[in-house]
Structure formats: structure tokens, C-alpha cells
Structure 1
Amino acid sequence: MLAVSTFILFTLLVAYISYRKTKGEALNTSDGYFLGGRSLGWFVIGGSLFLTNMSANNFIGENEQVYNDSVAVMAWGMTSILSLIIVSEFILPIYLKNGSVTTPDFLEDRFDSSIKKWISIIFLVGYVINMMPPVLYAGAVAFNGMFDLSGVFGLSNWATIWILVWSIGIVGSIYAIFGGLKAIAVSDAINGIGLVIGGLLVPFFGLLYIGEGSFSVGLDMILTQNTEHLNAIGKPDSPVPFSTLFTGMLLVNLNYWGTEQYIMQRVLGAKNLAAGQKGIALASVLKVISPILLNIPGLIALHIYFNVENTAEIYPRLIGDVMPEYLTGFMAAIIFGAALTTFNSGLNSSSTLFMLNIYKPYLKDKNKEIGDLKLIKKSKYLQVFLAMTAMFIAPFIAFVDGGFFDYIQKVAGFFSVPIFTILFVGFVTKKVPPIGAKVALIFFITCYGLTQLVFDTGLHFLHIMAILFLTSTAIMLFFGKFYPMKVPYKPIDKKIVDIKPWKYRHLISLLLIIIVIATYIFFSPLGVAS
């Protein structure tokens, strides 16, 4: 009862603060509703970026992989830091100079409007199939694991997952539909503070638990026992082989942090470039501690659970078993917030992409105009439809073979790196024509689908992504050489916001790279692994 009370109180507190902070905001304009009025500061951007990334998927999936394999899965978080540095230095300035509201906006200026529509549709399909449903499912699994709701109410696991998925989905929809981006970003920042505090408390109490009251004994146990799980240098048969860090994983992370609408929408709402870069730096600093939040609990679970039927329940079970009851409720609220933020971000970004990149241009082609108020109203209807679609899909993820986190990354390959390939070539070339981008996009998605669904190449899916990235790039360069644009692309600064960069960004970037290298040395045969 105490845990449930704590959960309700913290959840209501976040909602109240978000309401107070956004009260009086202009939500009747496109910029106000979709971009927070381009007024987001660095702290809100950084906290929101971090929490949107740290969804229930990560807590459930990464700790599951550590339990089943090793801390090699921390590569997703560690390589994110390098990707964030690249995005901050090279990609964000391009978007802000271009005055982009959505990341595909750049593609319209660089190629043509049809490419913008194609990419927007791919984003939409990816969000509805592979982003929002897994978030809802992971949140439902976490809740059931922490509170054993199936046992309390005498329901089957299947029925409980359905109820929880719809509960999380409905609350998340309310945030997204009625609050707009700023309400989402503010609640993200508040939950982000709680996430760091609560996330650090889980391994703290876990180490006390296995050390029978002694933190140092518990720490010594996870560093000296089951040491094969401490190796971040993934073997060739690992879900995350070390070689993939330098191929497909880097590309996936560059796409995630540099082109995903539901991530970049926060930074596109920055009041200036310096604020955006500071926000990205804050998110990078927070990512440094992600192994403590996402991997150490999985190591602790090795000393507690020996025969687990559904390893996706490792993290929520750990919370319920090792933490005081009042903190269980607090962590439930944090996991709830983490599930909400990714889900409602997906809704907001999906409606932004559809309304501004597909529906509004469609009306324009028909010589029809639509005002901001009507556009926002239709956007809310769309979000209701998308939310219901995701809520219907989510429970069926329970029947997917293989690791939950690995499934998400594999399916994302259909939507992520193909988009980044088009954007990358658009960034670095001036003459590649639209037809080159379209051919490369179809080629990439088709070939990736064949390697994952039809033919077994024997290669890790991240290596396949890297090969297809290079091949697709070559296709675009071929068109640029032999069928170039008649008028080369010339970027224009639309002077929407101040693009003066943050002067300390290089120093912070260097320190972050040193920390990443040191972390890998520690979790390797040169350090604690064997």
C-alpha cells in the first residue's frame, strides 16, 4: 500500500509541476504546440533528451542482456556519447541554420518535397510499429514485475499486460495531446532528475542485499564473481560483438541522435545553437552513468536469480525484492515516467511529421489553406488514432522470439540507417539528385529485409547495416557523378535563431571521450573482466 501511495504522489507531483511550468503557453500556433515556441533552455533539452532515451525498454532490455550475456550491451550507451558529440558539432548547426521544424525539412531543401514525404512516412511507420508499442510493453512488464499485479488481482499475465499497456497509453496520450512539446519536455526534465536518483539507488540497495548489509562486500562479489559477464569487449557470438561498435552501431546511434524526429524535436526547439549544444552536452554527461543504471542491476541479479523463465522481468523483480517499499513506489513512478516520455514523444513527433510534412503540403497542392488552430485540432485526432494503434500492437510483443532489446534494434534497421544514409549524403554533397536518394533508399530497405527475413548471411545485423550504408552511399554518389543536379544545392541561413556556438563544447567533448575509453578499459580483460 505504501509503494502504491508513493507512486501516485510522485506521478501527480510531476504532472502538477509540468502544468504550472507550461500554464499560459501559446499552444494555438504550430511553433508553440510542436516546438515549444523555440524557447527551450539547455537544462530542459538535456534532461528531456536523456529521459526520452532512457525508456523502460533500456532498463528492461539492457539488464536482461547483461544477465544473459555480458556488459557488452553498454556499447549502445557509450557510443551514443560519440554520436552526440558529432551531432552537436556538425548536424545541429545545419538544422538550425535551415530553420527546420522537422528533420526531413532539410531533405526538402536539399533534394525535393517527395523525399521529405518518403522519409516522413518511414518515420511514422517506424514509430507506430517499433517505437511506441515496445515502450508500452516494457512499461507494462516493469509494473507487473514490481507489484505482481497478476497475483494481486488474480488475472493472467496476458490480461494484466493488456490493462497496463492501455493505462500507460491513455495517460501518455493526455500529456502529448493537451500539453504539446513543452509539457512533455518539462515533465521529462523533472522525471530525469528522479531517474538519476532512483536509478542509482537500485544498484546501491542491490549491493547491500547480496552483501547481506555490506555495500563493499556486495561490490566485491559482482567484481570478482561471474567475471565473464564483466567483459564489455563483446565476442563474435555476443548480441553486441565489439567489432560492431565501429560499423553499424555508430551509424544507428548517429541516426538516433541526429535524425530521429522524436529526439531532435527537443533540440530543434532550442532558443539558440549554444543552448542546444549545452543541452546535448548535459545529455552526454548523464549517459556516462548509464552503465550504473542499465547494466549493474543485471550483474547483481546474477547473484539472486538462478532460474528465470522470462528474463525480461529481471529488473522489475530486482526493484521489488531489494528496495524499501516506499522507494519501490518511487521507482515505479520513474519507470512510469520513462515509459510515458518516450510514448508521448512518439505521438507528438508523429503528428508533427504527418501534419506539417504530409497533410499540410497535400492541402497546399489542392490550393487549400489550413489555419494553425484547425491543424492542431486535427493533429490531436491523429494522435488518438496512433495511440490506439500502438496500444493494440504492444501486448503481442510478448510472443516475439529472442531478446526483447535485440528485437528492437534489429527491426529498427528497416527505418534508421536508411534514413541516416540519405541525410548524410545530403549533408556532405551538393550535386546528388533526388532520384539517387530514392533509389538508394529502396535498395537499402529491400536488401536489409532480405538479409533479416529470407537469407541467413551469417553476418551480424549491424555489420549488414554498415555494408548497406556504404553501398547505398556509392549509389547516390554514382547518380551525383553521372546525373547531377542542374543547380547545385546551396545552404541558406534563414536566421530563425542565433547560431553562435557554445565556446566550451570542445573541452567537454574531449573529457567525455577520455571517460568512455577509461570505462572500456575497466570493463575488459585489462580491468575486471576475465
Structure 2
Amino acid sequence: MEIHEILQPLDFAVLGLYLVTLIGIGYWVSFKKKRDADENLFLAGNSLGWPSIGFTMWGTNVGPSMLIASASIGYTTGVVAGNFAWYAFIFIFLLAVVFAPRYLGARVQTLPEFMGKRFGSSTQNILAWYTIVTVLISWLSLTLFAGGILIRQILDLPLWLSVVILILIAAFFTIAGGLKAIAYTNVFQMVLLIVVSLALTLTGLYKVGGVGELIANTPGEYWNLLLPADDPNYPWVAIALGYPVMGVWFWCTDQSMVQSVLGAKNLKEGQLGANFTGWLKILDVALFIIPGIICYVLFPDLDNPDEAYMTMVTKLFPVGMTGLVMAVLIAALVSTIDSALNALSTVFTMDIYVKKYKPEATQKQIVTIGRVVTVLGAVIAIFLTLAIDSIKGLNLFDVFQSILGFIAPPMSVVFLFGVLWKKTTTKAANTVLLFGTILSLGIGVLYLWVFPNAEYAFWPHFLLLSFYIFVFLAALIVVISYVERNRKDLHVSTLDYGTIPKLPNKVKWLWIALIVVMVGMYVVFNGN
């Protein structure tokens, strides 16, 4: 029986009631914000403590799209996808001890601003466009794709119509004050998602007969984080070499992820917040991947592994509860879509339109351009989503990771060399950002669409491809910098970190504890 055939009228009633309630809260928040605007507009600046930073970074990372994708890969391959959660601690550590002291020391609000001080305004302009491309692809289109799959499962509609419905819901929330409502209730929704996923895991374990029965009824390799080098899905070599490229970009240089650390009260709070994120990432496997493995045991004949999460929800939860889960998933997806559209509009309007083309623009012109860009962004995202749906031979999780793997190399190279190697020149950085992005995304288009990996066996694993592109761009940035080293007109960096302080003892011992725990987890999950 299909998922949409299992849902009852009560489920749809709960879904509708939840969304209407959020709109009501939105109106209240909008009214309250107008009254308090003068008081609280700037109080959030540099006021975040470590719990807020940790929960914000983790919540940004583990949205509904990743939840659905993680259950899918758990169903097909087991815990190996846990590498994308647990291997991340190295790069969160890198953020805490290498990047955060420099970001906070330089007193910047955005990462393009940071690189503008390092390499000049040309680099800042390029990064603005780079941000638009990454927001369109990684935050908007991939979220729409996962949301479209969810709506398709619930209502049995074609993907294009599901995506249009999701965009219309997002627009409706924005018009009705719902974006403020979702932002206001985002923490509540994340807590609810975690509780639901934990309940799903525990209920599933009970149905299976416990952890022992779950392990006994799954292939041994399902419980290995590191698979043989000849494994067709996730060989350990591909993960070991390829994930770091993605990890540096995502955890150390992506504005959406780093924003909360930039808003820390002080460096110590930022470093503790990053550490807290590392501890929270341990939960990912239990909350998001294990339900997929349980689904493999309970419902082994699924036609589409991407339905694993919703299959567990609809088969194990009572009527009404299913509707609540759907409502939380849809509302959180809409929140991400709205935030992405808002970010897209803001970056284009302020960093490109106003700064470069029309500094004298009136407020009315700025608002008009912002609205036009929002609509154009939504339309472009719909077509990108349909293009993603045409990718053959990859499940939802692999689609996510492969696309991110082709976005990551240029940013990882420029930030690593820009921060760690003083001799890196502006021309070298700009060349890698421009040429490197075209090269990386071009190879991605060839890999995913023109000569799809499912049909052409000559391709290496997409994580290895990401690593090879990274190595080539790293060599390129070094060569260009050396060729330029004697020029008299080189841009002089205006970055001033101040004195980089030593790691406080509390921060140091918490990081040592996390590293010991994570190494232990890798030992435990490679014993089969």
C-alpha cells in the first residue's frame, strides 16, 4: 500500500491545524516585532552563548531534507553514511581553533567581508556571486527536491507539481507573516523533530526485538563505518580523501553554518559552541540513520528507499501523530526555503545591485529589486530541482552529497590558502573562485547528467572526484601566486587578527574528550 493511501482525514486535519496555528503566531510575532523594533534590533549582535551556537549549527545542518535522505541511505547501506556526521568533528575542530580566532579577531560580519579584507573588493564581489550560486543549489534546490519528494509521497502528485505547491506554501507563509512564525518556533520544531525521530527509533527497536535482533537481521557490513577500498558505494579511501574537501567548505567557510560563531559573545563561547555541535553530531546516526536500518528489517521490500522515513512514520505511529510529523517536516522545509530565498535576495540586492550598480538606490527600489530576485530565484530553483530529479543511479543521500562535493573545492582551496599561506595573491584566489567553480560544476554536470555515473563506468567515486579537483586547484593557486610573487602592485591584506589567544583549558579538555570519544566510536563500528 502506498504512503498516501495510509493517511487518514485526521492526519490532514492535524496538518492543517498546525500550519494555521503557525500563521496565527506569525501575526502575533509581526505585531510584537513592530512594537519592540527599536529595543531589540541590534541586541543579538555578538551575544550568543555556547548552547545557542551549538544548537543553531546543528539545527541548520540536520533539517528535514537531511533526515529523509539519511533514512534512505541507512536503508540501503547501513551506518557508513554516519561518516558524514562523525567525521565532521575534525573540521568543526578546525573551525574552532584555526578559523574562528581569525574571523572574530578580524571583527567581520560576513565571510565575503573577511575575504574582501584579505584579497580586496574584487574577491568580495566574486564571493557574492558564489554565494548566490551555492544558495540556489545547496540550500534552495536540494531542499525543494527533498520537500517535493515528501509532498509526492503524501499526495501522490508528480514532482513538478509538488515543488510548485511547496513554493506556493512558502510564499503564502511569507505574505501571511508565516516566515516570522517559523523563525520564532524553529527551536520548538527542531526539538519536536528530534523527539519524533527518537520515538521512531525506540518504537522500531521494540518492533524488531531490540538491538541484538536488529544486528542479527542485517548484513554485517551495515555496521561498519569504513568499508573496503573496492566497495562500490562508499569505499573508505573516497570518504577519507573526499569528505575533508566538503568538510572544510561546509563547516569552516559556509556563511549559514559559521554565522552563529561570528555572533558569539567571545572567542571562548564560539569555541565551546563548536565543540557542543561536535557532541550533538554523535546523535545523527541514532536519530536519522538507524530508523532507515530498522525500516530495512521491518519493511525489506520497499520499491524506493527514499520512502523509508515516511514508511516508518505511517506504519508505526498512530493516526493523528502521522499528520503532526508531516506538518513539522513541511513547516521546517518551508522555513529553509524562505530563509534561502531571503538570503538570495539580500546578497544580490545589497552586495551586487546596490554596492556595484546603484549605490544611490532608494528604499523603494531596493524592495522592488528584492521582490523580483525572490520570484526569479524561486523559478530558477524549480527548474534546478527538476534537473536534480533527472539524475540517474543515485539515491537521495548520494544526490545531496555528490552535488555538495562539486560545489566545495574552490571555496575550500581559497579559504585554506587565504588563511594559512600569506603568499597567496588576489589573482590566484580570484582565478580559483572563477575558473575553479566553472571547472568543478562543469565536471559535476558531466558526472550527473551528460555521462551519468550509472551508465558510464569510467568515473571514479564522486568523493574522489571532489578530492582530485581540490588538489588541482590547490596546485593552481600555488603556481599563480609564485608567478606573481615579484609584482609591485599586489594587493596588501588589511586583515588584522590581533594576537591569536591560546586555547583555554576548558575548551582544550572538552575537545580532547570529544576526539577520544569519536576515535572510540570508529573502533567500535569497525569490528565486524
TM-score range, shorter-chain basis? 0.7 to 0.9
1:199 counterpart (197, 200, 206): 197
What CA distance in whole angstroms lies between the structure 2 residues aligned with 1:51 and 1:83?
A: 17
What CA distance in whole angstroms lies between the structure 1 residues aligned with 2:331 and 2:23?
A: 10
Go from structure 1 to structure 2 and tell me whether the alpha carbon gap of 1:232 and 1:172 turns closer, same or farther (over 3 Å shift): farther
- Aligned-pair identity (%): 23
Residue 6 of structure 2 is matched in structure 1 by none
Residue 520 of structure 2 is matched in structure 1 by 518
Go from structure 1 to structure 2 and tell me whether the alpha carbon gap of 1:177 and 1:142 turns closer, same or farther (over 3 Å shift): closer
1:109 counterpart (117, 127, 132): 117
Residue 377 of structure 2 is matched in structure 1 by 386
Go from structure 1 to structure 2 and tell me whether the alpha carbon gap of 1:517 and 1:430 turns closer, same or farther (over 3 Å shift): same
What CA distance in whole angstroms lies between the structure 2 residues aligned with 1:520 and 1:252?
A: 20
Q: Report deviation, 1:17.
A: 6.5
Residue 129 of structure 2 is matched in structure 1 by 121
- Contact 1:72–1:242 at 8 Å: present in 2 too? no
Go from structure 1 to structure 2 and tell me whether the alpha carbon gap of 1:268 and 1:341 turns closer, same or farther (over 3 Å shift): farther
Q: Report deviation, 1:135.
A: 0.8
* Cα deviation code 1:204-247 (max 9, x no counterpart): 112223x3xxxxx2322211122332222133334322223332
User: Counterpart of 1:94 in structure 2: which amino acid?
Assistant: R
Question: SS at 2:302's partner residue?
Answer: coil
- Contact 1:53–1:342 at 8 Å: present in 2 too? no
Q: Report deviation, 1:319.
A: 0.8
Q: Report deviation, 1:12.
A: 5.7
Structure 2: 5+ residue stretches without partners: 1-8, 452-456
- TM-score w.r.t. structure 1 length? 0.83
Residue 509 of structure 1 is matched in structure 2 by 511
What CA distance in whole angstroms lies between the structure 1 residues aligned with 2:270 and 2:22?
A: 24
- Contact 1:66–1:295 at 8 Å: present in 2 too? yes
Residue 406 of structure 2 is matched in structure 1 by 414
- Contact 2:205–2:211 at 8 Å: present in 1 too? yes
2:240 corresponds to 1:246: yes
Task: Please show how residues 109-188 of structure 1 align to structure 2 within 5 Å.
Answer: 109-145=117-153, 148-150=154-156, 156-158=157-159, 161-162=162-163, 164-170=165-171, 173=174, 179=180, 186-188=184-186
Q: Report deviation, 1:118.
A: 1.7
What CA distance in whole angstroms lies between the structure 1 residues aligned with 2:202 and 2:377?
A: 39
Task: Please show how residues 277-426 of structure 1 align to structure 2 within 5 Å.
Answer: 277-363=271-357, 368-370=359-361, 375=366, 378-395=369-386, 397-401=388-392, 402-426=394-418
Task: Please show how residues 438-477 of structure 1 align to structure 2 within 5 Å.
Answer: 438-449=430-441, 451-452=443-444, 453=446, 458-477=459-478
- Contact 1:115–1:438 at 8 Å: present in 2 too? yes
Residue 261 of structure 1 is matched in structure 2 by 255
> May I ask how many residue pairs the two structures share in their alignment?
503
Residue 153 of structure 1 is matched in structure 2 by none
Residue 231 of structure 2 is matched in structure 1 by 237
What CA distance in whole angstroms lies between the structure 2 residues aligned with 1:508 and 1:175?
A: 44
Question: SS at 1:295's partner residue?
Answer: helix
2:427 corresponds to 1:435: yes
Q: Report deviation, 1:132.
A: 1.0
Go from structure 1 to structure 2 and tell me whether the alpha carbon gap of 1:67 and 1:116 turns closer, same or farther (over 3 Å shift): same
After superposition, the CA RMSD in angstroms is 3.5
User: Counterpart of 1:519 in structure 2: which amino acid?
Assistant: M
Question: SS at 2:129's partner residue?
Answer: helix
What CA distance in whole angstroms lies between the structure 1 residues aligned with 2:510 and 2:325?
A: 31
* Cα deviation code 1:115-160 (max 9, x no counterpart): 2222221221232134312212212323443xx423xxxxx44476
Residue 70 of structure 2 is matched in structure 1 by 62
Structure 1: 5+ residue stretches without partners: 151-155, 212-216
* Cα deviation code 1:259-290 (max 9, x no counterpart): 11222233333444344334333322221100
Go from structure 1 to structure 2 and tell me whether the alpha carbon gap of 1:178 and 1:201 turns closer, same or farther (over 3 Å shift): closer
What CA distance in whole angstroms lies between the structure 2 residues aligned with 1:271 and 1:375?
A: 32
